[in-house]
Amino acid sequence: MSGALRIGSRGSKLALIQSTWVRDELLRLHPDLRVEIEVIQTKGDKLLDAPLAKLGDKGLFTKELETAMLDGRTDLAVHSAKDMPTEVPEGLVIVAFTAREDVRDVFVGGASSTLSSLEELPRGATVGTSSLRRRSQLLALRPDLDIVDIRGNVQTRLRKLEEQGMAGTILAAAGLVRLEQPELASFAFAFHQMLPAVGQGSLAIEARAGDARVAGLVTPLIHERTTLAVRAERSLMHALEGGCQVPIAGFARVTETPDELGVARLLLRAFVGSVDGTTTVRGELAGPAQAPEGLGIALADDLLAHGADQILAEVRGAA
C-alpha cells in the first residue's frame, strides 16, 4: 500500500512519543506506507498560566488538531483518550482506541521524596494539580492538604515542585511509562482512593468520517477490551454532561469471569464530587460488555439520583 499519511500531533514530548508509536506501528503493518507527523499547537498548550478549570474544556487539547483534519492538512490525529470531549465534531470520528497502559494515577514527590503512601504526607502539605477530578478525590481523602494549581509537562512540574516547595503532584502512570520514567512515581493510588479520568491510559485515533483508507490502515491498532471499556466511560461522562474539567471519574474493565451464559461482562465504577471533596457520590454497575453505552447511561442515572445532579449544578455554577 503506497501513499503518504499525515498525523497531527501536539508538540509535547509525551504527545510526540504517542504519535511516533502510532507511526511506527503503521509502518510495521504497512512497510510501503510513508507517514509524516505534523506538530500542531492547541489552545491548552499555549495558555499554560491559566488554571484548566478557567479555560473551559471544549476541545482545549483537540480543536486545532481537528481543524487540520477538516481542512485536509492532516489525515488523522493522535490524542490521549482522556483529553477527548465526548462530542466529536461533525465530519470526524474516532477510528481506534488503543490498548491501555497502566490506568492508575500516581503521586510524584520531589527529588528527595521517600513517600510510599498518602498517609505519610505531612499534615497541611502542598500538592500541585490542575485537575478538579484529582483535587476532589484527594481532598475527600485528606481535607487537610493544600491543593494548588500546577500545569506543564512532567519536567516543568518537577521543577515547580522544587521551586515552590511542594510535597508532590499527581500524574497518570501511563504518561510516565511512555516517557520511560515510571521510577518517578512515589506510589500509585488504589482505585478506591482515586478513580482515573475517563479514557485514561488509552490513545484515541481520530480521522475524517468516511475515510475508508485511513480507517482500514488503523484497524489493527484497535484493542477490543479497551474500546468496550472506554465506550462505557465516555457514555457515562456524556450522560452526566461532564468534561475534562469537571470532578467526574470513571473506569470500566471487562471482567475475567463471564456470566452464566458465557457472555463477557463490563464493570464500570464512577465518582462525582464537589471541588473541595466534602460531598461525593460513588457507584458501580456491571452489565453485558457488548452494550457499553447502556451501562454508562444506567450508572449515570443512578449517580444523578443519589445527588450527583446537585453536585454538578454547584460546580458549574461556580465556574
Catalytic center residues: 83
Q: Are strands 34-39 and 4-9 parallel, antiparallel or unpaired?
A: parallel
199 Rama class: left (phi>0) / alpha (psi -120 to 50) / beta: left
Cα gap 104→200, rounded to integer Å: 8
Q: Which residue has the cell 513517600?
A: 115
Q: Are 92 and 68 in contact (CB under 8 A)?
A: no
Q: Which residue has the cell 481506534?
A: 96
Cα gap 317→149, rounded to integer Å: 20
| DSSP-assigned beta bridge partners for residue 252 | 268
Cα gap 145→138, rounded to integer Å: 8
Cα gap 296→86, rounded to integer Å: 12
Instruction: Count how many Cα atoms sit within 13 Å of the Cα of residue 275 in the half-sphere of its side chain.
Output: 18
Cα gap 316→53, rounded to integer Å: 10
- Residue 29 grid cell: 503493518
